[in-house]
Structure 1
Amino acid sequence: MKFIIKLLLILIFCGLTSCSTNDKRESYLIGFSQAMTTDNWRKEMNKSMLVETSMHPDLKLEVKDAKNDVQRQIEQIDEFISKGVDVLIVSPIQSVPITPVIEKAMDSGIPTIIIDRKIEGRNFTAYIGANSTEIGRNAAKYIISHAQDSTKVIEITGLQGSSPAYDRSAGFRQTLDSIASIKISHTINGDWEKASIKKTLNKLLLSGLTPDYIFAHNDRMALGAWEVAKSKNLQDRIKIIGVDGLFGPSGGIQLVKDKVLDATVLYPSGGAEAIKLASLLLQGKNVNKNNILNTVIIDSVNVDIMQNQFNKMNEQQNDIEQQQRVIEEQVATYKSQRNLVKMMIGLLILLLILIVWAVYLVIKLKKSKKGLESKNQKILDQRNKIEEFAEKLKISNEGKINFFTALSHEFKTPLTLITTSIESISESTNQNLKGFNYETKLIINNSRRLLRLINELLDFRKLESGSFRIKPVKTNIYNFLQNIYTDFNPEAIKKSITLQLHSHDKDVELFIDQDMMDKVFFNILSNSFKFTPRNGQILLTMEDVAEDFVLIKVKDSGTGIPKNELKKIFDPFIQASNNNKSSSGLGLYITRQFVELHKGKISVSSHQGAEFSVLLPKGKEHLKEYNPGGVSSEMLSQNSNVHFQETVLENESLSQLKHGNAEKMLIIEDNPDLSHLLKKKFRADYLVYLSDGTDGIEKALEIIPDVIICDINLPEKNGFEICAALKNDLRTSHIPTIILTALSTGESEIKAMKAGADSFVTKPFNLSILKESLRAVLYNREKLRYYYTNRIDKVEDEKFDNSEQQFLRDLNRIIDKNIENAEFNVEYLAAQLNISRVQLYRKVKGILGITISEYINSQRLSKAKQLLQDSDLNISEIAYMVGYSSPGYFSTSFKNKYGFSPKQFKS
């Protein structure tokens, strides 16, 4: 029932949505940034753009009004660029400020059309508009043609800084300059609005100046000039010329017809032409860069003709708009009716389904509704409480679990080294312990390491309980740091790390608890050494900050700390995600607490390594609650313990003692002390190779060892991953692997077995147990080798699911397929198995204990024995059938293997 309902719903959905996908067509967005819409001329531009856009169904126009604010226009153009419009049209307020954002649009690949006013330079797609210089010339020519001798002219300009005002004035003046009898007596700077010129013009007229002509850069300012002239009864004496020639009640054409203006120069808006130009660009056609619109003088001679033309154009435009509205209404009606029909059909089908389903549910739910609701509510409440509790428990315990897990690793590795070293010493019958210098030093170093971990735990406990009190003494901080630097210097030399200490003032004295601050800088430097690679650099610097503080920095060139973890790095139980080495996660937490107990601050940054900054205040007023005392040189000397207690001891020779045909052992362990100790213990019986985990797989593939000892916690891949990779590789799948771990849980053992490990030994381990585990896995490998070598002919029938069995199946299949070929050799066999000849030799030797050539020969003789027993072929025929080129050599080989000749066996 549910399946039928789902199927019907899918069919209804597909039917309803199919039409919408078919009706979609490609459309383009045109963005238009209008300088302002405070005047009729720009409103006419917007209107003509909208009308022309409606003629192109694939175009959509978005208009933004800058309201004569240059900064707003720049922001609006930026919005268009971010939106990714297909064409950008801009009517600039001012030329210079708007130029950079126009260039930005062009750099973004957006075709840009400049309308009305130009910008600086020529980095635009096209310009469209009337020639403002020509408009100025036409106005001047009109005055020249109607003027008499000694004609005075006042010019009223548009907003200074706009290109139309500049160009109109230039054309007007250039033309009048050639006529000596006509003089521009005054210039009034307006802002395109009539209110901006009235006051200035009124003053001029009151001063007794009566011009013959006034040329205003637009009709609105011309109307303002006429109003001022009328207030002085000078409207009949002064002839006024405007610019725009708009159609309408307050337009320039009507003002000429009403004899308010003597003439107006037609300034076409170019809105429709701009949309046409944009359409051509979107079609991929070439357009002219400069598109100049025609202009004309409108006066009493042609004003009626112009008005009639505008009336007809307006009527046609209104008819087009009306027709478009009717078409849009019809399309909308058709779509809505079509969708309504489909929706009704879908709803009808859905209604029938719901009726059937409702009847079914009513019958079923009446029987069990009440019981199920109460049970479900109880279960839901219990589940919510359990989930809430589990989430809180998980959050609160996760950090502590990670802490104790890491701490167990920290404890178990030194315990293993200590116990193993003690066993070696105790098992020695020779009382001379000089041969155990390595073990005794390991015991000392790892005992100190355990003591440091225990002290760290005790410090954490005291900090948590708030019972820590510091014992500040006056200390030369440079000498204090020099002492720590000296202790770390051997480790720096050993790791080829450049360790430097710099200070401009070596006489700075601070009141500090020397034991605490010793731990602070030990933790910071230990962290730097842990993550700084060989040939890296660690820089310890000290400098005064103002007069009251000393800043101590530790900068390393290591792997650094992920930026999203910098804020949490000083929290307890926290380790950075790039820290693959086990640690308690308390060191940096205790460091911060100790610094803050000294009223100081510690911070960390990470850029091409980590940089820790410790800011400590001078003086002792901040520590007066602890009664700071005098200088204590004894404490300074006591703190000069060896800081790096984990230095690998390599003063004893750990060279190989076992050579020749000895079995090869690979130890993959990142703790250098433990790996060198194991090498020392096993070098008498094995050829021992070491890997710190970074190249474990590569080294195993290189040497093909007879046995592998692998730790779990390694820098890059863990022991489970390395074991699984080697067991899944044909070249190394036969090698016995023993896993070492500090985790003794059943889950870890299961993971080890799933990864293919042959044995699992937990730390701290008894060396005898490890040796016995080695003996057991090698003995089992030897038994398996005996089984294979004595059941060569049965391998194909075995059902064991392991890689060695599969390898032998593939091996036997290829040998059997080519057994008649006397040219069949090891190189061809290795190529068929996709491994090298050396790897094939080591693989077969490791599994069967014999060479690959011996194995091929054994298979030939086994096949020959079967043919001698079950067929009537003669000995020569059988010899050739199993790949021997000589019957005599075949007979010799057969007798060497089975103890009698082929002839004797057949008889």
Structure 2
Amino acid sequence: MIQRTKPASLIQEPIPHIQQDSLNFLVTALILTTIFAFIACYLLYQNYRKNKQLELKNRESLKQQEELIALSTATQATSEAKFSFFTHISNAFRVPLTLILLPLDEMLDNKNPLNIPKQQLNLIHKNVQRLLLMVNQLTDFRKIEYDKMKLELTCQDFVAFTRDIISSFKALALRKNIELKLSSSDKEIMVWFDKNMFDKVLFNLLSNAIKFSPENGRIQIRLKSDPADQTVEIAVSDSGNGMTEEEVKHVFELFYQADKGNFFGSGLGLSLSKEITELHQGTINIQSKKGYGTTFYIKLPLQQEQASEKLLISTDFPVNPNQLSQYTIGILPDNLSVPVVAEQDGYLNEETLLIIEENEELLDYLKNSFKEEYEVLTASSNSVGLKLAYEMIPDLIITDITLNEQSTLQITPALKNDDRTSHIPIIILTANGDEAHKISELKQMADLYITKPFNFLLLKESVKSLLWNRKLLKRKFTNESPAAQHTVSLSRSDKKFMHDFTSVIEQNIANDKFNVDDIASSLGISRIQLYRKTKVLLDCTINDYILNRRLKKAKYLLINEDLSISEITYQVGFSSPTYFSTVFKSKYNCTPSSYKKQIGVNT
């Protein structure tokens, strides 16, 4: 039997062992990769969670840090506000205290206690009233701040209330010939308000209106009710000088004082008026333009939520005279005088003082106290004072440096950096007792810094001392003794002026036509300014100084040069040898020729 064999290709051979190992390796690798991937994802997730937690903690830390910074800033702001408050209020008290202490000191020094001028008593009374008003206003502020100001609301006729307050100001307005007019949309406007509180608002607005309105001016108070809106609007308009946009922005800020001219103010009144108005759930606004007057607008609700059921209709609103006097004191002087301007008495004293002080009463007091011994010039602003200083060249300046000076003009450096006025001693009178401010003024070469309130005797003796030092400066340039030239030192600007002054004379000493006008022209100042400047620095007239320089030069030439008397005469600016000899002999008790012979003998 024939057997068939299968083809070799059909015979199944076993899988090699290496392929089986590869398969096992791949499976194992896949399993391990899956495990490692899972572990990696788990670790990443845990890391993500930790990062989130750290981020959350960082946010909380930053938030706490910001809160601490905000708390620190708020604490610092509160501390600065308190410091600013006490600084302003202490400065506000200093001027009235000065005007009380000065006449009191004078009265105590008076040997005849029965002979007390009424003017001094009036000055004390005025400033006591001012202090009382400030104390009352500060008390009201404190009550409002701590929510202890409780309104006693009653329903009153606001037209009658306003009319009675206006009538209290009519006599004051009449003295300035100011028309004071009230107009109302209704004969009667019933409003819930506290009359004992809101009268302070109208007192303040009306006193300011009269204070800043010119003579023959006009003040109008308009009342208008709005039944639809359930409000009443009060508008107080004056014909004064108005305010700038910058002043309007800050007018209701505590202690802010706009340009108030010669009038005293504490910066409390309008701030308190705003607080009282808002306490009545009302609003107060201002509309003003420089040169066109000012209008205050107050809007009050006719009804009040916390109003009681008590309805009181009255047409009689008596005004407390003491309270009224606190608001009107100082608006007008005892006798209606002209505005404060530079004044000059009919006679001239040897030395001239310039007093610059914005408070009219203190300015008048200082002027009256010094006028017996000095020629006194006065100004109520830095700009006017600076102009007077340049024109009149006084011997000493007393100036007030206030916290609320609106002008950027700084009078001390302006005076000390100008050749015309650099030699003038400056005494600073100020309500600012801050040491940094004092150091700043002294760095700007102020000679003395006195804080209000001050002792007048101290001021008086300080003036005498500074003027005496100026007299020593005069001797520096006229005393021929070299030792005497070192007794008093000159400021840099005074040295420059004297150097330029003597240089001009030396350059023209041979010119017999040379005179004061030529010196003034060369120095670029007026004849009057030159006279007043040299009056302080020289103990002689300019012509005498020129003559002395000619004679000194002549002595030098007689001693050191081999020149004839005639040649020397013309070299030192004398018109003739005869005149030269006469002048030389009157000075040195011998003729030029005799002096030359004497020098020759001695040598």
TM-score calculated relative to the size of structure 2? 0.76
For the 8 Å contact 1:487–1:640, the answer to whether it is kept is no
Q: Which has the higher contact order (CA 8 A, sep 6+)?
A: 2
Residue 641 to residue 531, structure 1, CA distance change in 2 (3 Å) = closer
Aligned partner (choices 859, 864, 871) of residue 554 of structure 2:
864
1:605 matches 2:293: no
Q: State the shift of 1:744 in Å.
A: 2.0
Contact 2:355 2:378 survives alignment (8 Å): yes
Question: Aligned equivalents of 2:389 and 2:323: distance in 1?
Answer: 43
Which of 189, 200, 212 aligns to 1:519? It is: 200
The CA distance in 1 between the partners of 2:537 and 2:406, in whole Å, is 27
Query: Displacement, 1:454?
Result: 0.9
User: How many Å apart are 1:526 and its aligned residue?
Assistant: 4.3
Does the C-alpha gap of structure 1 residues 489 and 731 become closer, same or farther in structure 2, counting only changes over 3 Å? Answer: farther
Give the residue type in structure 2 aligned to 1:604.
I
Q: Distance in 2 between matches of 1:883 and 1:567?
A: 67
Deviation at 1:441, TM superposition (A): 0.7
* Alignment partner, residue 472 of structure 2: 783
Aligned pairs for 1:42-61 (under 5 A) are none
Partner residue in 2 for 1:743: 432
8 A Cα contact 1:438 1:649, kept in partner: no
Task: Kindly indicate whether the alpha-carbon contact (under 8 Å) linking 2:160 and 2:316 is maintained by their aligned counterparts in 1.
Answer: no
Match of 2:390 in 1: 701
Whether the aligned pair in 2 keeps the contact of 1:815 and 1:856 (CA below 8 Å) is: yes
Partner residue of 2:319? 636
State how 1:255-294 maps to structure 2 within 5 Å.
Answer: none
Which of 269, 282, 286 is 1:587 aligned to?
269
**Cα distance per residue 1:79-116 (max 9 Å; x no partner):** xxxxxxxxxxxxxxxxxxxxxxxxxxxxxxxxxxxxxx
**For the aligned residues, what is the CA RMSD?**
3.7
Whole-Å separation in 2 of the counterparts to 1:882 and 1:793:
23
Choose from 473, 495, 512 the match for 1:805: 495
How far residue 627 of structure 1 moved from its aligned partner, in angstroms, is 5.2
| 1:477 counterpart letter in structure 2 | F
Give the 3 Å change call, closer, same or farther, for CA 807–564 of structure 1 in structure 2: closer
Task: Classify 1:576/1:771 alpha carbon distance in 2 versus 1 (closer, same or farther; 3 Å).
Answer: closer
Q: Secondary structure at the match of 1:738?
A: strand
Cα distance in 1, alignment partners of residues 477 and 408 from structure 2 = 29
Read off the aligned partner of 2:450 and give its amino acid letter: V
| Cα separation, 1, equivalents of 2:478 and 2:593 | 25
1:682 is aligned, of 370, 391, 407, to 370
Secondary structure of the residue aligned to 2:148 is coil
Instruction: Give the direction of change, closer, same or farther, for the CA distance of 1:498–1:802 in structure 2 (3 Å limit).
Output: farther
Conservation of the 8 A alpha-carbon contact between 2:476 and 2:484: no
The 5 A counterparts of 1:369-448 are 392=74, 395-433=77-115, 436-448=117-129
From the CA coordinates, give the structure whose radius of gyration is larger.
1
Does residue 1:615 correspond to 2:299, yes or no?
Answer: yes
Give the 3 Å change call, closer, same or farther, for CA 732–389 of structure 1 in structure 2.
Answer: farther
Q: Distance in 2 between matches of 1:567 and 1:733?
A: 38
Moved more, 839-848 or 707-716: 707-716
Indicate conservation of the 8 Å contact 2:96/2:128, yes or no: yes
Given the superposition, is the C-alpha separation of residues 473 and 490 from structure 1 closer, same or farther in structure 2, using an over 3 Å criterion? Answer: same
What is the CA distance between 1:791 and its match in structure 2?
5.0
Distance of 1:698 and 1:401 partners within structure 2: 36
Could you list the per-position Cα deviations for residues 446-481 of structure 1 after superposition, in whole angstroms to 9, with x for gaps in the alignment?
A: 101011111111111111110111234554433433
How many correspondences in the alignment?
A: 522
Q: Which moved more, 1:553-562 or 1:779-788?
A: 553-562
The equivalences for 1:199-210 within 5 A come to none
Task: Give the corresponding residue for 2:220.
Answer: 539
* Counterpart Cα distance in 2 of 1:682 and 1:626: 63
CA distance in 2, matches of 1:586, 1:475: 27
1:391-412 deviation digits (Å, cap 9, x = unpaired)? 5555444444443333223211
Give the Å deviation of 1:528: 4.2
State how 1:642-791 maps to structure 2 within 5 Å.
Answer: 642=325, 643-651=327-335, 659-693=347-381, 694-713=383-402, 721-791=410-480
- 8 Å CA contact 2:397–2:426 kept in 1: the answer is yes
Cα deviation, 1:53-84, whole Å, max 9, x if unaligned, reads: xxxxxxxxxxxxxxxxxxxxxxxxxxxxxxxx
Shift of 1:512: 3.2
Note closer, same or farther for the CA distance 1:782–1:658 as it changes in structure 2 (3 Å cut).
farther
Secondary structure class of the residue paired with 1:540: strand
- 2:507 maps to which residue? 817
SS across alignment from 1:575:
coil
> Are the equivalent residues in 2 in contact too, given 1:497–1:534 (CA < 8 A)?
yes
Q: Secondary structure at the match of 2:286?
A: strand
What is the rounded CA distance, in whole Å, between the counterparts of 1:672 and 1:487 in structure 2?
25
Residues 267-309 of structure 1, C-alpha deviations (whole Å, 9 max, x = no match): xxxxxxxxxxxxxxxxxxxxxxxxxxxxxxxxxxxxxxxxxxx
Contact 1:562 1:606 in 2 (8 A): yes
Q: Does 1:553 align with 2:252?
A: no
Q: Which residue identity lines up with residue 905 of structure 1 in the other structure?
A: Y
Provide the rounded CA distance (Å) in 2 between the counterparts of 1:697 and 1:499. 38
Deviation at 1:801, TM superposition (A): 4.7
Shift of 1:808: 0.8
Change (3 A) 1:578 1:685: closer
Structure 2: how far apart are the matches of 1:673 and 1:819? 51
> Cα distance, 1:787 vs. partner?
1.8
* Identity in percent: 38
Q: Distance in 1 between matches of 2:151 and 2:350?
A: 60
| Residues 406, 583 of structure 1: 8 Å contact kept | no
Shift, 1:633, TM fit: 4.6
After TM superposition, give the deviation of residue 820 of structure 1 in Å. Answer: 0.9
Q: CA deviation at 1:635?
A: 4.8
Identify if the C-alpha distance between structure 1 residues 445 and 801 changes in structure 2 by more than 3 Å, giving closer, same or farther: closer
Relative distance call for 1:808 and 1:668 in structure 2 (3 A) is same
Shift in alpha-carbon separation, 1:534–1:815, aligned structure 2, 3 A: farther
Give distance in 1, aligned partners of 2:580 and 2:156. 91
* Structure-2 residue corresponding to 1:94: none
Instruction: After TM superposition, give the deviation of residue 777 of structure 1 in Å.
Output: 0.8
Q: Deviations over 1:510-569 (max 9, x none)?
A: 443233112112233344456656665432222222274332101234565565786765
User: Cα–Cα, structure 1 residues 717 and 611, in superposed 2: closer, same or farther, change >3 Å?
Assistant: closer
Provide TM-score, normalisation by structure 1: 0.52
Is 2:181 aligned against 1:500? yes
CA separation of 1:626/1:887 partners in 2, compared to 1, >3 Å: closer, same or farther? farther
Does the residue aligned with 2:450 lie in a helix, a strand or coil? strand
Q: Measure how far apart 1:617 and its partner are.
A: 3.5
Instruction: Tell me the distance in 2 between the aligned counterparts of 1:617 and 1:384.
Output: 42
Contact 2:88–2:255 (Cα < 8 Å) also in 1: no
CA distance in 2, matches of 1:522, 1:562: 23
Equivalent runs, 1:340-379 vs 2, <5 Å: none
Paired residues of 1:670 and 1:714 also in contact (CA < 8 A): no
Aligned partners of 2:413 and 2:175: how far apart in 1? Answer: 34
* 2:104 alignment partner AA: I
| Alpha-carbon separation, structure 1, partners of 2:151 and 2:176 | 35
2-structure distance, mates of 1:715, 1:904: 69
Deviation at 1:898, TM superposition (A): 3.0
State the secondary structure of the residue aligned to 1:670.
Answer: coil
CA distance in 1, matches of 2:269, 2:284: 13
Matches within 5 A, 1:152-163: none
